[in-house]
A and B are shown apart, each in its own frame.
Chain A
Amino acid sequence: MKMFKNTVVGLIVVAGLAFGVAASEGGAHLEKQKWSFNGPFGTFDKASAQRGFQVYREVCASCHALKYFKFRNLEDIGYEKEMIGAFAAEYEVPGDIDEAGDATVRAGLPQDAIPSPFANENAARASNGGALPPDLSLITKARAHGPDYVYNLLTGFGDAPDDIELRDGLHYNPFFKGSQIAMAEPISDDLVEYQDGTPATKEQIAKDITMFLTWAGEPKLEARHVLGLRVLLYLLAFTILAYFSMKKIWAPVKRGEDVWGDK
């Protein structure tokens, strides 16, 4: 039985290692960052997420949609209702059909999604040399080690090594699949001026946009962590009680007594 148990434990460890290896294959080695949302007590850094939203609006949004993101969600990262209304009102969205049967436009409202920069996929490709800028709503979940991937990709542009011949219109980035990406290096030092005065280094911008996108991809992460702790504390107490109940109930069986009573 001991050999059996050891084998099982060994196999689980091996499977875990294999899983880890499988998950990290492909692309250059990701430099892991410390993220406030990691770990069982992880939360979003709201100031960073707000800066990230600023970067998204001023930089990313010119090419990348964020279709599952609604302005009202901004409340989660600490924006006031009035500010959210003001952000939304900066955009025009399709309105109702008017009495004459014509399409109208109206100012954005908090319940609206942020409008996509392009009318459709063809328009997006036509403006980007044939490449389609992906929607960023789930980008940190749709890539292995998503947040680290986004951070490393954004800061990982550089000159191509001699053995790589860049195709026309592509840029070298070792973190991208195939090392050649259509997106030009999107961020640089002082590309934006942060409203809160944080120095806008390239690394800082990459961190902030990653924080924002991770939140946009998994807005319920904090609620999940909080509920998880409560559930685990409950289950722990429940299981300890169940364990001692079991010991007490089983005591006569363990002593070899007749537990049938009437027989």
Chain B
Amino acid sequence: MAQGHKFESNSAAVNWLEARLPIISLLYGALGPGYAAPRNLNYWWNFGSLAGLILVIQLITGIILAMHYVPHVDLAFDSVERIMRDVNYGWLMRYMHANGASFFFIAVYIHIFRGIYYGSYKAPREMLWMLGLVIYLLMMATAFMGYVLPWGQMSFWGATVITNLFSAIPVVGDYIVTLLWGGFSVDNPTLNRFFSLHYLLPFLITGVVILHIWALHLPGSNNPLGIEAKDNKDRIPFHPFYTIKDVFGIGVFLIVFALFLFYAPNSMGEPDNYIPANSMVTPDHIVPEWYYLPFYAILKSFTINILWIPAKLWGVVAMFASILILFALPWLDSSKVRSMQFRPLSKFFFVLLLVDVFVLGYTGSQKPEGILPLISALGTAWYFAHFIVITPLLSKFESTLPLPESISAAVLKKSA
């Protein structure tokens, strides 16, 4: 465990509290000078605190929106427009919440890819990695249900398409779908339960975030070199060094956020969602929010039945497997070298994976016409091959570059 400053206080009141509930020393050790972090963390390490900040923004704006929103199929759309027009700063709350969802995913995607690049999932941080993936899964569910609440056309048809996926599950599929809907189609009971769960899940996320930070503080942060910090020459106290760096990162991130929020608040949404839900009119092209697009492409990439299993079930299984496989990443990659800075081949394949995900994101956003279904299928194949074949092979056969002796040696040599 990293050795930070020990908490001490001269205040009798603080010491009285500490003897009964050591919460100040807990925070001191988690986010203050008591946490010793590697001295060489780069800006990619800012995205964890950024994701945490947006979680707080989403909670606050969401709770305020819930004060004005009406979860009923006849009133939901109107109540959102009332928020936009008549509630004081309601437009600000709603646009913050809607764009906040996108920025939450931006921060978390960068955070995940940073973890992959620098091998942050490797021992002894497997629990940290898996808890992060649990947070990500909860986010996906929360965002999906949140998108249904305005009860626009995309809300309704997105809900219909996604809930129908579960009908692909053999035997119990139809029962599960009926349970999700609370009836025999997406209707008022569906909206009500989605609202209830959309309110609940963020608090579960908050709970898992606390576990995530707990699991971080036992082994301490990974770092760009991927080697363990040996002593306090390799480390600096979290406060004031990383607190001020996080504050600076928050400033930059909020500037970008504000640009979207105030000047292009609808650019990441679908115009169709400003049309009230209508079960009699199907939109031309049902697309999910951008952050699901690669998975949507994987879902759609199976177009023929293989081994008597229907294409739809293959698609659903592949879509869930594409996320679940990340849970196995710490064991698929057995290389002792964490950071891809010292793994040139892995770095190359990492870039290919990134390209692959963007390609899938693009094909997911388009109608499956022409060459696109083929590209989706190849992209899906590559995605799974990356984790199941390439990663284990690389960890066996890749010749890695020599690791530096210590963080301080590497960093100080560079600056000297």
A interface residue numbers (CB < 8 A to B): 1, 3-4, 7-8, 11, 14-15, 18-19, 22, 26, 40, 68, 73, 137-138, 141-144, 146, 177, 219-220, 223-225, 227-229, 231-232, 235-236, 238-239, 242-243, 245-246, 249-250, 253-254, 256, 258-260, 262-263
Contact = CB atoms under 8 A, between A and B. Distances in A.
Most buried by A among B95, B237, B244: B244
Contacts of B252: 239
A246 B43 CA distance: 13
Contacts of A231: 258, 262
Given A254-B415, A256-B415, A220 B91 contact: yes
Range for the number of chain B residues in contact with chain A? 35 or more
A235 B366 contact: no
Most buried by A among B81, B237, B240, B262: B262
Contacts of A260: 5, 232, 237
6 smallest CB-CB distances across A and B, nearest first, come from A228-B262, A239-B251, A142-B274, A242-B248, A141-B274, A220-B91
B258 A232 contact: yes
Given A4-B117, A256-B415, A138 B274 contact: yes
Contact of B248 (A138, A224, A243): A243
Nearest to A177: B284
B248 A246 contact: yes
A235 B241 contact: no
Contact of A141 (B85, B262, B271, B347): B271
A141 B266 contact: yes
19 contacts: A4-B351, A11-B354, A11-B358, A14-B358, A15-B358, A19-B365, A40-B262, A68-B85, A138-B274, A143-B271, A146-B271, A177-B284, A224-B265, A225-B262, A235-B254, A245-B244, A245-B247, A259-B237, A260-B232
Nearest to A141: B274
Contact of B341 (A1, A146, A258): A1
A246 B236 CA distance: 14
Majority-rule SS of B interface residues:
helix
Interface string B339-359: 001000001001100110010
B397 interface: no
A262 B81 CA distance: 59
A232 B354 contact: no
B271 A18 contact: no
A263 B232 contact: yes
Interface of B: 5, 39, 78, 81, 84-85, 91-92, 95, 117, 232-233, 236-237, 240-241, 244-245, 247-248, 250-252, 254-255, 258-259, 261-263, 265-266, 271-272, 274-275, 284, 341, 347, 350-351, 354-355, 358, 361-362, 365-366, 412, 415-416
Nearest to A38: B263
Contacts of B358: 11, 14-15
A228 to B, nearest CB: 3
Contacts of A235: 251, 254-255, 258
Contacts of B265: 224
A237 to B, nearest CB: 9
A1 B262 CA distance: 33
B101 to A, nearest CB: 17
A15 B362 contact: yes
A7 B274 contact: no
Nearest to A255: B415
A231 to B, nearest CB: 5
Given A228-B263, A253-B39, A253-B241, A18 B362 contact: yes
Nearest to A26: B284
Given A138-B274, A253-B236, A246 B266 contact: no
Contacts of B266: 141
A256 B284 contact: no
B251 A238 contact: yes
Nearest to A11: B358
Contacts of A15: 358, 361-362
A205 to B, nearest CB: 24
B262 A249 contact: no
Contacts of A243: 248, 251
A26 to B, nearest CB: 8
Nearest to B268: A19
B255 A11 contact: no
A249 B244 CA distance: 8
Given A7-B354, A236-B255, A259 B274 contact: no
A247 to B, nearest CB: 9
Contacts of A146: 271
A231 B415 CA distance: 37
Contacts of A14: 358, 362
Contact of A219 (B85, B117, B250, B361): B85
A195 B172 CA distance: 67
A232 B271 contact: no
Most buried by A among B236, B271, B351: B271
Given A7-B355, A11-B354, A141-B274, A249 B240 contact: yes
B365 A18 contact: yes
Nearest to A237: B251
